[in-house]
Amino acid sequence: MKNVQINIQKVIAILRRDLITKKDDPIEMNMYEMLRDQIIKKKGEVLLKTGAKLFWDTYYKKYFIGGYHYAGEDVDYYFKKKEVKKE
């Protein structure tokens, strides 16, 4: 199991990356707002597309992203750097 501590800005970025594919779609925006409220205001947890879980730890009072994949690939997916193409 791999757990990584993250800040609130990264929480929002992960939710946006996971949920919003079209910026004009009202259903996706509504789902994003609902899950954002679930994780931030209610201190809950959200299961992401890769199988990783975004959650608030009540003991440490911090946000974490955790996963059960043996190599940690489900968590590492959200921390990959974008490659810049050089011509």
Over residues 9-32, the pLDDT tens digits come to 998 888 888 888 777 888 888 888
Task: Quote the pLDDT of residue 81.
Answer: 64
* Mean predicted lDDT score pLDDT of the chain: 84
Over residues 41-57, the pLDDT tens digits come to 888 888 888 889 999 99
Q: Across residues 5-10, what is the average pLDDT?
A: 91
Q: Across residues 59-76, what is the average pLDDT?
A: 86
Task: Quote the pLDDT of residue 64.
Answer: 93
Spatial neighbors of 68 by CB under 8 A, at least 6 apart, are 1, 51, 74
Task: Quote the pLDDT of residue 5.
Answer: 92
Residue 5 is encoded by which pair of tokens?
């501590």
How far apart (Å, rounded) are the C-alpha atoms in residues 44 and 71? 25
